[in-house]
Structure 1
Amino acid sequence: MSRSWSPRPRRRYYPPPPRSLWRRLLDYALTIIVLGLLILLAARLDRFETRKAEGAAIVNDGDSLTLGTERIRMRGIDAPEYQQICRKDGADYACGRLARQALVRLISGNPVTCSGWQRDRYGRLLGDCKAGGKDLNRAQVEAGWAIAYGDYETEQAVARAGKAGIWAGTFDEPQDWRESHHEGPAERRHGTLASLGDALCEFFRFR
């Protein structure tokens, strides 16, 4: 016995009701807010633009130099001040001058390139510096002529164990020496973690 077949009834299409005025105003407001956030994000990212300086270096001391008109403070390390005195084998010696000489030897007359986006309280660029394929920040710590100041803790541990540079004797940490010689309050550390904190502060700074 055959069964009769009948087509299914078609559903009628009903267009969606028009959006209310308040709904349209809300959509416009959300669009404006999203565009505003995108503009704000673009403006904030400009603050983290990496600055780069390169050229022949004038070495000021063991962790700072000048490239053209740009003064550089090497990021993540702290070397003895130029006039600082340390002690080894029962005698004083000019560790600050030796730290500067060590940096001069590392550069060996090669062009220096430094890059970074932060500045210290004196307006110097906090830079990661290279010359002749060498990471100067890291090399100064490895040679024992700068201490870790936010980065390079592993390199410092090796230098200290090997009694390299200032670790061969006794010395005041550079920040303590500066404070005792009335050269301003202790400078805060400026390694990778400090850079992340600065980035967050800078992003939410409204000026």
Structure 2
Amino acid sequence: MGLSRRARDVGVAMAILALTALIVARVGGGDGETLTGAARAADGDTLTLDGQRIRLLGMDTPELAQVCKRDGADWRCGAAARSRLAELLRAGPIACRMQGRDKYDRWLARCENAAGDLGARMVREGLAVAYGGYEDEERFARAERKGLWGAEFDMPQQWRRTNGRPQEEVHDAEPGVLGGILDRFGF
């Protein structure tokens, strides 16, 4: 009996140590990390900060090559989205809170600067659609017929599918096995 009790105690101690190691890895492993500094727009929903590619979480913009129709005329809505993000980035240094990576190994993050939450601004101004976040901002943009909502356009996901471009999944940060386990326990 002494051996089985000892084995159980060792097993419990090992489990506690493993859980502690997992928590340390989660806290120090990039998820939740904040990057700050000057950034540049790659397109309407992706930026580069300190050499890191960051995909703005919770929204989606038209692709750079995507053309929409406004008042019967072509409107380069993808280029307009990138131009607006670039303009917002000029408001000053940004802070991006990393929340995982997407299937392209880009960081998924919420970013803000003096202009506010960049994703919220892009969706509220109608240059992005809600994609796992910012539903209230999209309702406002639709009601006010801002940007895309005052034009004829294909949703970015549909445009990518029609034009043979890689598909984006709704931006749930991929926490991995460890993150999934820790999320279930509230860590």
TM-score normalised according to structure 2 size: 0.85
Pick the aligned partner of 1:144 from 126, 135, 143: 126
8 Å contact from structure 2 (residues 38, 89) kept in 1: no
Q: Distance in 2 between matches of 1:41 and 1:26?
A: 22
- 2:169 paired residue number: 188
Query: Gapped runs of 5+ residues in structure 1?
Result: 1-21
- 1:35 paired residue number: 13
1:161 aligns with 2:143: yes
- 1:121 paired residue number: 103
- 1:175 paired residue number: 157
**1:166 CA drift (Å):** 0.8
- When residues 63 and 204 of structure 1 are mapped into structure 2, their CA distance, relative to the original with a 3 A threshold, is closer
**1:170 CA drift (Å):** 1.4
Query: Which residue identity is paired with 1:30?
Result: R
- Which structure is higher in RCO with an 8 Å CA cutoff and minimum separation 6? 2
8 Å contact from structure 1 (residues 114, 130) kept in 2: yes
Q: Following superposition of structure 1 onto structure 2, how do residues 72-91 of structure 1 map, counting pairs within 5 Å?
A: 72-91=54-73
- 1:9 paired residue number: none
8 Å contact from structure 2 (residues 39, 93) kept in 1: yes
TM-score normalised according to structure 1 size: 0.78
Q: Following superposition of structure 1 onto structure 2, how do residues 62-101 of structure 1 map, counting pairs within 5 Å?
A: 62-101=44-83
- 1:11 paired residue number: none
8 Å contact from structure 2 (residues 100, 175) kept in 1: no
**1:129 CA drift (Å):** 0.4
Query: Gapped runs of 5+ residues in structure 2?
Result: 182-187
- 1:105 paired residue number: 87
- 2:40 paired residue number: 58
- 1:5 paired residue number: none
CA deviation map 1:107-165 (0-9, x unaligned): 23411121213111111100110111611111111111110110111111111111111
Q: Which consecutive segments of 4 or more residues in structure 1 shift more than 6 A? A: none
**1:73 CA drift (Å):** 0.3
Q: How many matched pairs?
A: 177
8 Å contact from structure 1 (residues 107, 132) kept in 2: no
Q: Distance in 2 between matches of 1:133 and 1:26?
A: 62
8 Å contact from structure 2 (residues 67, 75) kept in 1: yes
- When residues 51 and 83 of structure 1 are mapped into structure 2, their CA distance, relative to the original with a 3 A threshold, is same
Q: Distance in 1 between matches of 2:22 and 2:58?
A: 24
**1:199 CA drift (Å):** 4.0
8 Å contact from structure 1 (residues 77, 146) kept in 2: yes
- 2:184 paired residue number: none
1:44 aligns with 2:22: yes
